[in-house]
Structure 1
Amino acid sequence: MRQSTTRVAVVTGGSRGIGRAVAGRLAADGCAVVVGYGGSEDEARAAVVEVTGRGGRAVAVQADVADERAVAALFDAAESAFGGVDVVTHAAGRMALAPLADLDLAELDALHRTNVRGTVVVAQQAVRRLRRGGALVLFSSSVLGRPFPGYGAYAASKGAVEGLVVVLAEEVRGRDVTVNAVAPGPTATDLFLEGKSAELVARLAAEPPMERLGTPDDVAGVVSFLAGPDGRWVHGQVVRANGGLV
């Protein structure tokens, strides 16, 4: 494995939505980027082309985030391609919405496999492999602070993420590695918009004092801060990037 002075970022869920915006922003910040993706190879390759077309370096690697062998191979690929790992952003996620009384428990199992087990698996590799000066950025959700009906199972999975952040912040003590989470509010991604009427989207957009939906780029800017030099004194925190939604 060749050594590199370039910072290297692994972004899960990097083929779409917030993850894709994060991959592009970290590449613009000077990172070589590994675009981790679950199912859409075409979109992952398009994300790589976006980065390389702007003069950056990127590769796409498929991995089921809940499969520890696949995730280990993802990190192996990052080290082989670029020499190490300095930033890990775990943006892969799943959403299943239903009132608790009507919740399909098979959907609950699938949700928790991705959002809870997947977060633990990716974070485990991150804390094993991040170099000094590195950053791990996980994803929670602002529904923990502003609950919406139907989001119970999803909110429960993101509560697990926030619990993990504060524990990991202690476990990496002395390593010069930061651990934080970003908790977006309503953000205009396919995952958020799917199945919602125009009226519901408009109502949700009006909820924050900024009176609009967030964009993937809004969230990517927060990740960039946490992963970069200006975010080194932010550790063990959940940053609610939601336009003032409380």
Structure 2
Amino acid sequence: MFLVRHFKIFSRCFLPNQCCTPVRKVSTSVHLFKRKDDVYIQRMTERLMKSSCRDCDFPLRMDPKYKVAIVTGGETGIGLAAASDLLANEAQTVVLAGVCEGEAAVKQLNEEHGEGRACFMHMDVNDSRDLEELFYRVNMVFGGIDIVFNNAGILEDHIWEYEVDTNLKSVIRGTLLGLDYMGKNGRGKRKGEGVIINHSDTMALEGLPYAPAYSATKAGIIGATLSFGSKYHYNQSGVRVAGLLSGPTNTDLVQKAGEKQIDPEWGRLLVAYLSEPPPQSPAVVGRAVSYLVKYAPPGSLWTVDRGELSVTKIPKRRVLNTKVTQL
């Protein structure tokens, strides 16, 4: 009886200065379609409730220690929080990339985590040459790439064509470059053990009426992530591709969203939607990124909302379809 199932992973343990291993909780779900057979759901719930911090379904796949990471849109908000948390997990270097001036962000990160741990490269994710140069330079200067967080995005439906380029096309391009530079047979100096995290949004699952273009771009990211994260691509490249859907988060993108929608009324309704309940902290999403780097299987989707991290399961189409008639 479920279209999308969210299995909660973090509750208390997802808070700062707490245990970093997951505590399993009973599944929470979005009830949209009915299924006659709930045995699968019952068994999955029982299995999740029995598992523990020491016996979980997500073994460590990568230790961020000594790793090199690229974070697009890393100058502020979620990108900056993700960079900080990766450095706190002893990543060697995090390269922030974006169109905004990132010197202040780099200074903050280096003061917190050590001089030379973070650097900034000015580039536009919509410019394929800029993005290619980013990967080439990071690979050459730091001896390879291990982690890519495709995070850059805007919530500006009044320029929806540019929004599609920024939110969706750049993620696809960044994923292709990540596979090229980290894959088994790619151009990178480190091959076959990288991870790519693509940043989506819970709006992708809801089809929010007040931001239709934005919702569409984030739904597209889910489709691309499921495709690139499939067994076929993973076996070819050895690179894990996973997706993170974030709920309303207290960032500049959210705070200024009301002014940048197709219709002023849509903007007002969007702000009201994003403000209730109170948005979560970017630091929470940053911790979720580090968790996915460590544990996310290829092709998996995760949701971080209201300070909780969940595995998000989207059933196959045959489960979703209800036959109407034979044509």
Tell me the TM-score range normalised by the shorter chain: 0.7 to 0.9
Partner residue, 1:109: 161
Give runs of aligned pairs for residues 92-131 of structure 1, distance below 5 A: 92-97=152-157, 107-130=159-182, 131=191
TM normalised by structure 2 equals: 0.63
Are the structure 2 counterparts of residues 126 and 19 from structure 1 closer, same or farther at C-alpha, using a change threshold of 3 Å? same
**Match for 2:235 among 170, 173, 176?**
173
Asked whether 1:219 is paired with 2:278, we answer no
Amino acid at match of 1:52: N
Q: Quick one: distance in 1 between partners of 2:152 and 2:162? A: 13
Asked whether 1:22 is paired with 2:78, we answer no
Partner residue, 1:163: 223
* CA positional deviation for 1:199: 10
Q: Quick one: distance in 2 between partners of 1:172 and 1:161? A: 17
Provide structure 2 residue ranges, at least 5 long, that are not aligned to the other structure.
Answer: 1-64, 183-190, 259-266, 313-327
Q: Quick one: distance in 2 between partners of 1:85 and 1:13? A: 17
Question: 3-state SS of the aligned residue for 1:180?
Answer: strand
Question: 3-state SS of the aligned residue for 1:84?
Answer: coil
Q: Quick one: distance in 2 between partners of 1:135 and 1:195? A: 30
Provide structure 1 residue ranges, at least 5 long, that are not aligned to the other structure.
Answer: 98-103
Partner residue, 1:55: 114
Partner residue, 1:68: 128
Partner residue, 1:240: 303
* CA positional deviation for 1:202: 6.7
Give runs of aligned pairs for residues 80-95 of structure 1, distance below 5 A: 80-95=140-155
Q: Quick one: distance in 2 between partners of 1:80 and 1:52? A: 22
Are the structure 2 counterparts of residues 215 and 67 from structure 1 closer, same or farther at C-alpha, using a change threshold of 3 Å? same
Q: Quick one: distance in 2 between partners of 1:37 and 1:18? A: 13
Question: 3-state SS of the aligned residue for 1:140?
Answer: strand
* CA positional deviation for 1:51: 2.2
Q: Quick one: distance in 2 between partners of 1:178 and 1:203? A: 33
Are the structure 2 counterparts of residues 198 and 25 from structure 1 closer, same or farther at C-alpha, using a change threshold of 3 Å? farther
Amino acid at match of 1:45: E
* CA positional deviation for 1:175: 3.7
Q: Is 2:71–2:150's contact at 8 Å kept on the other side of the alignment?
A: yes
Q: Quick one: distance in 2 between partners of 1:199 and 1:96? A: 14
Q: Quick one: distance in 1 between partners of 2:216 and 2:269? A: 26
Amino acid at match of 1:206: E
Partner residue, 2:248: 186
Amino acid at match of 2:204: L
Q: Quick one: distance in 1 between partners of 2:194 and 2:244? A: 16
Q: Is 1:14–1:20's contact at 8 Å kept on the other side of the alignment?
A: yes
Q: Is 1:67–1:121's contact at 8 Å kept on the other side of the alignment?
A: no
Q: How many residues align?
A: 224
Asked whether 1:141 is paired with 2:197, we answer no
Q: Quick one: distance in 2 between partners of 1:119 and 1:198? A: 28
Partner residue, 1:100: none
1:39-61 deviations in Å (ceiling 9; x for gaps):
x22xx111211222221512111
Q: Is 1:18–1:189's contact at 8 Å kept on the other side of the alignment?
A: yes
Q: Is 1:22–1:223's contact at 8 Å kept on the other side of the alignment?
A: yes
**Could you say what the CA RMSD is over the residues aligned between the two structures, in angstroms?**
2.4
**Match for 2:104 among 46, 67, 71?**
46
Amino acid at match of 2:242: N
* CA positional deviation for 1:162: 0.6
* CA positional deviation for 1:26: 1.0
Question: 3-state SS of the aligned residue for 2:172?
Answer: helix
* CA positional deviation for 1:81: 2.5
Amino acid at match of 2:169: R
Are the structure 2 counterparts of residues 173 and 240 from structure 1 closer, same or farther at C-alpha, using a change threshold of 3 Å? same
Q: Is 2:156–2:257's contact at 8 Å kept on the other side of the alignment?
A: no
